[in-house]
Chain A
Amino acid sequence: MTRNRVLLLAAVLAIFFGVGAYLIFQGVGGGGQAVSIDLTVSGHSMAPTNPGAVSNDYPPSTVVVKQGDRVTMTIRADQPEEVHLHGYDIAFAVPGVNGKVTHTFTADKTGSFPMEIEETSTPLGQFVVTP
């Protein structure tokens, strides 16, 4: 008797985990696009120059791309400084006043990666890569 009930519970759990896997993994993929993102840093904040690619649902600025996208990220700043993209460990060293720097990379890791001014650890925003 108990055996049947344990089997029944196991079956319900298996269905639950199966549906969960389907829900999670069906939305995965679809990356591989070329995405270009232009950001402007002034003082302690970072704003998108091409707002279409950037969502500002919650501050600080959040840039969302799909895993596998080819990202061309350009950062302009009002003073020479280094903007660090954590996780990907890319340093955007802006050369001079109102200078700009561009890096192209593949967004191969998913996650929410902070961007900050390296020198002062000032948070500028999140670079979000969804699966």
Chain B
Amino acid sequence: MTRVFLHGFGQRYDLPGPLFLYLFAAAGVVVLSFVVVVLFAGDELGAKAVDYPRRRVAWLDGLAAARWPRTAGGVVGVLGLAAVVSTGLFGSQKPFYNPAEYLVWVYFWAALVILGGLLGNLWALFNPWTALAGWLRLPAERKPNRLARFGLWPAVVTYFLFACLELASGVANRPAVIGWLALAYTAFTLGGMAWAGRRAWLEQVECFAVLFGIIARFAPLETEADRRGRVLVHLRIWGTGLLRGEKAGWDQVVFVVLMLSSLAFDGLLATPVYRWWLLSFGGLFGVFGLLGPLGIPALRTVGLATLTAVFLGAFVLVMRFVMWCGWPQVGSPFGRWKGVDAPRALSAFAFTLVPIALVYNAAHNYTYVVVQSQGLIPLLADPFQKGWHLLPTAGYKVSFLLAGAAVVWYVQIVLIVLGHVIAVYLAHLRAGERFKNAAHVLLSQYPMLLLMVLYTMTSLWILAQPITKEA
């Protein structure tokens, strides 16, 4: 008998959305998609298309350049890491009574991602390993970069392993495991930074730095250094930062697709579809049964990898039609592309899917963040469950005030529809930048629209599924 611990740990009390709501939101998504495309079709072409408006906020310049926010953030991050390791190893081994579980899965993994998208790159501020590496005076850079030829692939691997820990391993709810892994990842990261330099390691291996970096491109705060090296802060509209031209390659595309697939997999685990997968394939490949206690983790790992492959395949297939419609010179949609750098084209459009992933993440984790996060409050009085009375919070009762089902449903459809509209708009601007004339831009957006509608429908569908427990 195993319990489903979603998002690593914790119980979900969400009430699945009713059918009428699902149909209403789905219809809205389709209608709004066409409204966006028709209203803004082929508005601007070339570099002007992705030149989004932004506003200077000079009063934040000083804060961005100052050292103290980084020092303070680093101290908070290191204290958080120390709390995770110490309570994980020495606290109660019941997950609901251990702060490590709340800190890692609720505060860091669910809440910080949402806040990162709403505000800016908070992880850059709180990353405990950046702070530790700074205090240990590890080299900032090594020349030549020892990781140069690996691109973002090491981060793809570390992120996949983390997703497996959260969703497949079944041990994410064991505080001691969390404590040991936090310690091991600390050693791995600091050792890696010493070997390859802090910067390369953060940009290519430390998957959280990479992930929060991508999320921060969605966020409204933008910093930029001028010619004299002064840091300038700008405000932009949510999502527009994803239009900035940055690195391109298969590694970037796979990382973004993995973001989408790991989130969807987390949602799928709670639905009857997962039971179906478990029942049909668990038996089909008898090998999973032979693995004993490792059977379920192995099956889930295969499930996550399969879903990632399916998402990647769908994206590449749709992109073939996008390119064929928008840039007919490439030849047939199934042949080799002529005169186009495929990884560049794929990367440019992959990032326009990020808003859909982020809003789904926020909608999916909304109740978790507003309810489960409060579970930490009574534990502050006695973090190691040793009978201490550090703070008068022991009797705190979790409030469901913000988690009424009607409110949750409304928050979910607002988030999902807004994210979808942002994504459709971004893809449209991106097409304007890449393709030659307005007719091609318009045409190229239909395959992309299909993919985005499918993805958003899947998100809505998962949120409307009855939540089952594994028996």
Which residues from chain A sit less than 8 Å from chain B, CB to CB?
2, 5, 8-9, 12-13, 16-17, 19-21, 23-25, 28, 58, 60, 67, 86-87, 108-114, 120-123, 128-131
Alpha-carbon distance A87/B471, docked complex (angstroms):
20
Partner of B24, one of A20, A67, A112: A20
| Contact pick for A16, options B11, B403, B417, CB 8 Å | B417
In the assembled complex, which residues on chain A have CB atoms less than 8 Å from the CB atom of B24? 19-20, 23
Contact partners of B466 in chain A: CB under 8 A: 58, 112
**Contacting pair A112 B14 (CB below 8 A):** yes
Q: Once the chains bind, are A130 and B15 in contact (CB under 8 Å)?
A: yes
* In contact, A13 and B421 (Cβ under 8 angstroms): yes
Max chain A CB contacts within 10 Å: which of B25, B32, B406?
A: B406
**How far is A110 from B402 in the complex, measured between Cα atoms in Å?**
11
CB neighbours (8 Å) of B405 from chain A are: 67, 110-111, 129-131
Decide yes or no whether B391 CB sits under 8 A from chain A.
Answer: no
Q: In the complex, A87 Cα to B405 Cα: how many Å?
A: 14
CB-CB nearest in chain B for A124 = B469
Within 8 A of A (CB), among B2-38: 3, 11-16, 20-21, 24-25, 28, 31-32, 35-36
Q: Is B40 part of the contact surface with A, judged by Cβ < 8 Å? A: yes
B binding-site residues for A, Cβ under 8 Å = 1, 3, 11-16, 20-21, 24-25, 28, 31-32, 35-36, 39-40, 43, 272, 367, 400, 403-406, 409-410, 413-414, 417-418, 421, 466-469, 471
Top 6 A-B pairs, shortest CB-CB distance: A111-B13, A110-B405, A131-B406, A109-B400, A131-B405, A123-B469
Q: What residues of chain B lie closer than 8 Å to A87, measured between beta carbons? A: 11, 13
Question: Which residues from A are CB-within-8-Å of B28?
Answer: 16, 20
Task: Report the number of A-B residue pairs with Cβ-Cβ less than 8 Å.
Answer: 91
Q: Within 8 Å CB of B36, what residues of A? A: 9
Q: Are A111 and B406 in contact (CB under 8 A)?
A: no
| 15 pairs from A and B in contact (CB 8 Å cutoff) | A5-B39, A13-B32, A13-B417, A17-B414, A20-B24, A20-B28, A23-B20, A23-B24, A24-B409, A60-B469, A110-B406, A111-B14, A111-B400, A112-B16, A122-B1
Q: Inside 8 A of A9's CB, which chain B residues have their CB? A: 35-36, 39, 421
Of A8, A20, A113, A123, the residue contacting B471 (CB under 8 A) is A123
The CA-CA distance from A109 to B404 in the complex, in Å, is 7
Q: How far is the CA of A17 from the CA of B416 in the complex (A)?
A: 12
- The answer to whether A24 touches B1, judged by C-beta atoms less than 8 angstroms apart, is no
With A9-B35, A87-B13, A123-B471 known to touch, is A111 a contact of B403 (CB < 8 Å)?
Answer: yes
Complex Cα–Cα for A65 and B282 (A): 36
- Distance in angstroms between the alpha carbons of A12 and B30 in the assembled complex: 13
| In contact, A23 and B21 (Cβ under 8 angstroms) | yes
Known interface pairs A24-B21, A112-B13, A112-B15. Does A131 touch B404 (Cβ–Cβ under 8 Å)?
yes
Taking a contact as CB atoms under 8 Å apart, the answer to whether B406 and A114 are in contact is no
The 8 Å CB contact of A128, one of B15, B410, B413, is B15
